[in-house]
Amino acid sequence: MIRTPDILFVTLSLPAKTVREFVALVRARPDVLVFASSGAGSNTHLGIELFRDRLIELGAEIFTLSPQEFGAFLRAEIQRWRGIVTKYKIALEP
């Protein structure tokens, strides 16, 4: 048995600054959670699955997507954000 540290990264624009706040956000808006791991069976993957189970217990709704469905989701998100960036003339800082 070994112990490995886990790190939870969230985008800076997310209002959650602690795990407790993140869980509260997921409970309030389960549609905003998207997560990934470094691969099936890895420590990261197993940790995410445990965290996922806990989120489900708290009432979050988790969607499982096939590779094709995930690709379609990413394409739709890219188009959506392209529209937002264009509409509001958002520029990246160098």
Render pLDDT for 17-26 as a digit per residue (tens, 0 to 9): 888 888 788 7
The answer to whether 3 touches 14, Cβ cutoff 8 Å, is no
7 and 39 part of one domain: yes
Give the range of the structural domain holding residue 79, as residue numbers without chain letter.
65-94
pLDDT in tens, 15-73: 888 888 887 887 787 666 666 656 677 776 777 778 778 877 777 666 677 778 878 87
**Number of structural domains the chain divides into:** 2
CA gap 68, 84 in Å, rounded: 25
Please report the pLDDT score of residue 67 as a whole number: 79
Fill in the DSSP letter of residue 43. H
8 and 45 part of one domain: yes
CA gap 59, 92 in Å, rounded: 36
77 and 51 part of one domain: no
Which pTM was predicted?
A: 0.41
Pull the structure tokens for residue 18: 């602690």
72 and 48 part of one domain: no
